[in-house]
Amino acid sequence: MTPEAPLDIEACVREPIYNPGTIQPHGTLLVLDPSTFRVVQRARNQVEFLGCDDLLDQELDGSPGLGSLLVERLRAWRTADEPVLLTSILHQHRRLQVAANRTAQGILVEIEASEEGHPTEAFYSRMGHVLDILGSASDIPGAGAIATRELRHLTGFDRALLYRFDRAWNGTVIAEDGNGRLPSYMGLRFPAGDFPPQARALYKKSRLRLISDKDHIPVPIEPLLSPLDGKPLDLGATTLRSVSPIDLEYMRNMGTAASMSTAILLDGELWGFLVCHHTEPRHLGTSLRAACDLLGQLIAQRIGAIERMAQRGDRLARQRLKGALLKGISREGGFETGLVRHGDIWLRLARAEGASLVTQENVYSVGRTPPSSVTQRLAILLQQRGVKDLLATEQLSSFAPEFEPHADTAAGMLALPISQLHASYLIWYRPEVIQTVRWARAAAKPRTAGERLTSRASFAQWTELVRLRSEVWSQVDIEAVGSLRSSIVDFVLKRAEERAALTS
Ligand code: BLA
| Secondary structure of 237-253 in HEC code, one letter for each residue | CCCCECCCHHHHHHHHH
What gap in Å lies between CA 364 and CA 395, rounded to an integer?
Answer: 23
Please give the distance, rounded to the nearest whole angstrom, from the Cα atom of residue 280 to the centre of ligand 1: 18
Residues 71 and 147 placed together within one structural domain of the fold: no
Q: Does residue 485 form part of some domain?
A: yes
The predicted pLDDT at position 81 comes to 77
Strand order in the sheet with 27-32: 22-23, 219-222, 39-43, 27-32, 106-113, 94-103, 84-91
Pick from 24, 16, 469: nearest CA to 221: 24
Ligand 1 lined by 190 (C-beta under 6 Å) = yes
Q: Does residue 314 form part of some domain?
A: no
Nearest ligand 1 atom, CA 199: 39
Helix or strand or coil: residue 396?
A: helix
User: 106: left (phi > 0), else alpha (psi -120 to 50), else beta?
Assistant: left
Q: What angle do CA 57, 63, 69 make, to 5 degrees?
A: 110
Nearest ligand 1 atom, CA 190: 19
Please give the distance, rounded to the nearest whole angstrom, from the Cα atom of residue 213 to the centre of ligand 1: 15
Residues 398 and 284 placed together within one structural domain of the fold: no
- What does the DSSP 8-state code read for residue 206? S
Cβ proximity of 201 and 18 under 8 Å: no
- What does the DSSP 8-state code read for residue 15? -
* Ligand 1, atom 17, residue with closest C-alpha: 190
- Checking if the pLDDT of 318 tops 90, the result is yes
Q: Who has greater pLDDT, 71 or 496?
A: 71
Please give the distance, rounded to the nearest whole angstrom, from the Cα atom of residue 190 to the centre of ligand 1: 10
Its domain, for residue 75, covers: 22-113
Cβ proximity of 425 and 415 under 8 Å: yes
Pairing mode, if any, of strands 258-266 and 84-91? Answer: unpaired
Ligand 1 lined by 275 (C-beta under 6 Å) = yes
What gap in Å lies between CA 146 and CA 475, rounded to an integer?
Answer: 27
Give 265: exposed, middle or buried? Use CB within 10 Å, 0-12, 13-18, 19+.
Answer: middle
300: domain CATH number is 3.30.450.40
DSSP string, 432-469: ---EEEEES-GGGSPPPTT--B-S-S----EEEEE-S-
* Ligand 1, atom 8, residue with closest C-alpha: 261
Model pLDDT for residues 114-153, shown as the tens digit of each residue: 866 566 788 888 888 999 999 999 999 999 999 999 999 9
Model pLDDT for residues 1-58, shown as the tens digit of each residue: 333 444 456 677 777 789 999 999 999 999 999 999 999 999 999 999 999 999 999 9
Nearest ligand 1 atom, CA 254: 20
* Ligand 1, atom 2, residue with closest C-alpha: 195
Q: Does residue 322 form part of some domain?
A: no
What residues contact 87, with CB distance under 8 A and at least 6 apart? 73, 77, 97, 98
Pocket test for ligand 1, best of 188, 194, 198, 262 (most atoms within 8 A of CB): 194
Report residue 449: phi and psi, to 5°: -55, 135
Please give the distance, rounded to the nearest whole angstrom, from the Cα atom of residue 196 to the centre of ligand 1: 8
Give the residue-averaged pLDDT of 385-392.
93
Q: Does residue 224 form part of some domain?
A: no
Pick from 159, 142, 439, 444: nearest CA to 274: 159
Cβ proximity of 277 and 256 under 8 Å: yes
Model pLDDT for residues 68-124, shown as the tens digit of each residue: 999 999 999 988 878 889 898 988 888 899 999 999 999 999 999 986 656 678 888
Cβ proximity of 56 and 222 under 8 Å: yes
Residues 260 and 363 placed together within one structural domain of the fold: no
Beta strands in 44-156 (DSSP E): 84-91, 94-103, 106-113
Report residue 495: phi and psi, to 5°: -65, -40
* Ligand 1, atom 23, residue with closest C-alpha: 194
Domain count, the chain: 3
Ligand 1 lined by 270 (C-beta under 6 Å) = no
Give 246: exposed, middle or buried? Use CB within 10 Å, 0-12, 13-18, 19+.
Answer: buried
Please give the distance, rounded to the nearest whole angstrom, from the Cα atom of residue 193 to the centre of ligand 1: 8
Last residue of a domain, one of 80, 113, 146: 113
Ligand 1 lined by 194 (C-beta under 6 Å) = yes
The predicted pLDDT at position 74 comes to 94
Pocket test for ligand 1, best of 163, 185, 195 (most atoms within 8 A of CB): 195
Model pLDDT for residues 329-342, shown as the tens digit of each residue: 888 877 889 999 99
Residues 82 and 182 placed together within one structural domain of the fold: no
* Ligand 1, atom 30, residue with closest C-alpha: 12
Residues 299 and 345 placed together within one structural domain of the fold: no
Give 93: exposed, middle or buried? Use CB within 10 Å, 0-12, 13-18, 19+.
Answer: exposed
Residues 287 and 341 placed together within one structural domain of the fold: no
Q: Does residue 454 form part of some domain?
A: no
Model pLDDT for residues 447-473, shown as the tens digit of each residue: 444 444 455 555 667 788 889 999 999
Please give the distance, rounded to the nearest whole angstrom, from the Cα atom of residue 172 to the centre of ligand 1: 14
Nearest ligand 1 atom, CA 256: 20
52: domain CATH number is 3.30.450.20
Please give the distance, rounded to the nearest whole angstrom, from the Cα atom of residue 431 to the centre of ligand 1: 35
Q: Does residue 192 form part of some domain?
A: yes
Residues 490 and 362 placed together within one structural domain of the fold: yes
Residues 171 and 82 placed together within one structural domain of the fold: no
Beta strands in 341-420 (DSSP E): 354-358, 363-367, 391-393, 412-417
Last residue of a domain, one of 84, 113, 142: 113
* Ligand 1, atom 4, residue with closest C-alpha: 195
Residues 102 and 144 placed together within one structural domain of the fold: no
Nearest ligand 1 atom, CA 161: 22
Please give the distance, rounded to the nearest whole angstrom, from the Cα atom of residue 486 to the centre of ligand 1: 46
- What does the DSSP 8-state code read for residue 193? G
Q: Does residue 303 form part of some domain?
A: yes
Ligand 1 lined by 74 (C-beta under 6 Å) = no
What percent of the chain clears pLDDT 70, i.e. is strictly above it?
91
What gap in Å lies between CA 114 and CA 95, rounded to an integer?
Answer: 5
Give 196: exposed, middle or buried? Use CB within 10 Å, 0-12, 13-18, 19+.
Answer: buried
Ligand 1 lined by 390 (C-beta under 6 Å) = no
Residues 354 and 288 placed together within one structural domain of the fold: no
Nearest ligand 1 atom, CA 261: 11
Nearest ligand 1 atom, CA 243: 43
What is the overall mean pLDDT for the chain? 89
Nearest ligand 1 atom, CA 173: 22
Report residue 153: phi and psi, to 5°: -60, -40
Cβ proximity of 346 and 369 under 8 Å: no
Nearest ligand 1 atom, CA 456: 29
Q: How high is the ipTM of this complex?
A: 0.94
Residues 293 and 346 placed together within one structural domain of the fold: no
Report residue 9: phi and psi, to 5°: -65, -35
Q: Does residue 37 form part of some domain?
A: yes
Radius of gyration from C-alpha coordinates of the chain: 29
Residues 420 and 351 placed together within one structural domain of the fold: yes
360: domain CATH number is 3.30.450.270
